[in-house]
Every structure is written in C-alpha cells, then in structure tokens.
Structure 1
Amino acid sequence: MTEHVAGDKLLGMINSRGGKDADYTDEVFGTVNSTDPLSIWISQDLPSVSEDFLELTTEARGLTIEVELPVSGGDASGDKTDDDKTEKDDESKGQVAKGNIEVFAPLAPGDKVRMLRVKQGQRFIVLGRA
C-alpha cells in the first residue's frame, strides 16, 4: 500500500511543477545532415539545428589517443626460444611501438544521435550515437 501512496505523491509533484514543457530538458533524437559545418535534423517541425546551437560530448566529438607500448623479443606467440633470448632482447631494448587508437569515431552524415534539449530549446547537448 505504501508504494501506491508514494507513486501518487510523486505524480502530484510532477503535475504541480508549473511552467510549460519547453521550460524543461527533453531527450530528442536526430540525424546528422553534415559535419562541416555540423548540422542535425530533428523533425519536420524544427528545421536542422546548426553547430551554433549544439554542444558535443567527447563521444560525439570523437576521441583518438596516442599510445606507446614497449616491444619485447619473442616469436609471434610471445614465447622466447632459447636461441632468441639474448639476441632479440638486445635488439628490442628501448624500442617502443607507437600508434593512435580511435576510442570514439567522430560523427558522420547519416548517424542517428541522442540529444538533450535544454535552455528552452535554445541549446542541444549531443550525447552520442543512438
């Protein structure tokens, strides 16, 4: 019985909040039209939203990191043979493999995205792909 009372209380609080729906944050979905400049189509009621009204999270912006890994001697499985131990160890000391890893790919045309509409619809926070 307590759950029903708590639910009624919560519903009453939500209904008494006042204001218009546009005063609050909404989750909206869109499709990336272009990336240079960034433009996202939301619905027929709202024309494409330009980058002036968009804020991107790291996931939406894209993230590539540079990594460095030490290289050690051995065969493809990583096991060292007796013959290779000293020769390959000497060759690989101080060697480092460098490269970039793409953690999040940047948005591309056609991507479906999930956003938050904030500031009475004046700003959209692009959270990432939907």
Structure 2
Amino acid sequence: MPLKIIEKLIEKYGPINAHKEQLLLLKERIIAYEDHLSECRIKSAASADVIRNLEYEIRYLKLENNVLQEKIERFHHANIEGFQCRYCGSVKLKRKGDKPHKVFSDLGIVDTFFICLDCGRESVLTINTLEKLY
C-alpha cells in the first residue's frame, strides 16, 4: 500500500527531481523490507513446523519413558517366584529387601522382606539361595 502512495506522488510531482529521487530511494527500501518480511514469514512458518515436530517427539518420548519406568518398577519389585502374603494369601508382593538369616546364613539362607500390596502388611520369607544354583 505505501508503494502505491509513493508511485502516485512520483507521478503527481514528477518535475521536482529532488523529491523524486528521495521517493525512489524510499520505494526501493520498502521493496527490500517487504522482501525481507516475506523471507521472515517463510522462516517463521518453517520454525513453527520444527517446533510442532519437536513437541510431538517430546510427547512421544515422555510416553515411552513412562512405559519404561513402569517396566523397571515391575521388574525391580517382581514376585517371579510366586510367593504369597502369609496374612491374606495375595501374590501382589513388593520386594522390600533381604538380609542373611540369623541362624542359617552360612548355608545360604536369606530372609526376604515383602510388602503386600493388598493388605499392606510385611511378610518375611526365608529363601535358600543355594537351591537357585542347581
């Protein structure tokens, strides 16, 4: 729109060379700025696409991370042997830790502590670690 105004002024005041030169310089600047503006719009659109792709990738990685965290948690607290809670009989046990048996530790006997996810009580199970070797 400013270009049309400048062109009208050039046509209207054509004989005045000093103003004509200034208006022509101004016209050239406006054209250069419009070109620069269109380049910036193109770059802005491309940047918006990159941002959308990165946001999608971040969401995907967060979901994948949550799935992997759940797998790690299940693996870490797995009740592979199928032990049962001594109070309610549930197999939903979370391993809390273990320590050598007070009397039979020399024989490879270990007391393993579990928390029942159903009743919330702690169960201590005595495990012979040497049996796993054979």
Given the two structures, how large is their TM-score scaled by the length of structure 1?
Answer: 0.21
Query: Larger RCO: Structure 1 or Structure 2 (Cα < 8 Å, ≥ 6 residues apart)?
Result: 1
Q: Which has the higher helix share?
A: 2
Given the two structures, how large is their TM-score scaled by the length of structure 2?
Answer: 0.21
Q: Which has the larger radius of gyration?
A: 2
Q: Which has the higher strand share?
A: 1
